[in-house]
A = this chain, B = another copy of it.
């Protein structure tokens, strides 16, 4: 964390800025699951009092990224394999519906951007970068759904699970497999084949779920 002592008063509430910064650190794996989040240390780091820190932590807790234990402090949330499986099941249910909504409204712009994301993801070796592009690829497919709430919900589910998907990179050849699956999804999307898109998307998420829950189960045995 290289924030230094920034002025947090000039662009919105301090609590929001702190929350954004902590969220980023958690999502990039700089703060691992189980890490203690001490109010006074964070307050010192951001050169603020502990009040906006508490507010930021509450916000992150509501998002599921942080677990608050009253009077004992906050930690970066862990995720059990059962929870992971379930989150991905929910994602699957909503994302397949979102893509059905979006597909009839897909245009050349959407296709070009999804293709660009796919090309970009093939050129990067950086895990954090790849995860960002992965999200952008998926989001682009759903963009024309006309359902902001659903997309927001998908994003919040994504936030809870993507930092764990990150570990698949070192534990399996996840990236190669995911790229192939993305290619197939985009090909079906391009010709407007809704049944194929949803089926491929479902397989993609289900396979991710299988790999991730296996990995988390191994973690829990250690």
A residues with CB within 8 A of B? 12-13, 15-16, 51, 54-55, 58-59, 62-63, 70, 83, 86-87, 89-90, 93-94, 97, 147-150, 153
Contacts and interface: CB of A to CB of B under 8 A. Distances in A.
A89 B150 contact: yes
Contacts of A63: 62
A58 B16 CA distance: 11
A89 B54 CA distance: 34
A93 B154 CA distance: 13
B13 A90 contact: no
Given A58-B55, A62-B63, A83 B15 contact: no
Q: A-side binding surface: helix, strand, loop or mixed?
A: helix
A58 B149 contact: no
Count identical subunits in the complex.
2
Nearest to A160: B149
A13 to B, nearest CB: 6
Contact of A12 (B12, B15, B70): B70
Contacts of A90: 94, 147, 149-150, 153
A58 B89 contact: no
A150 B97 contact: no
Interface centre among A13, A87, A93, A148 (most CB of B within 10 A): A93
Given A54-B55, A89-B147, A150-B89, A13 B70 contact: yes
A90 B51 CA distance: 35
Contacts of A94: 90, 93-94
Contacts of A83: 149
Given A93-B97, A97-B93, A150 B58 contact: no
A147 B62 CA distance: 19
28 contacts: A12-B70, A13-B70, A15-B58, A16-B70, A51-B51, A51-B54, A54-B55, A55-B55, A55-B58, A58-B58, A58-B59, A58-B62, A62-B62, A83-B149, A86-B147, A86-B148, A86-B149, A87-B149, A89-B97, A89-B147, A90-B94, A90-B147, A90-B149, A90-B153, A93-B93, A93-B94, A93-B97, A94-B94
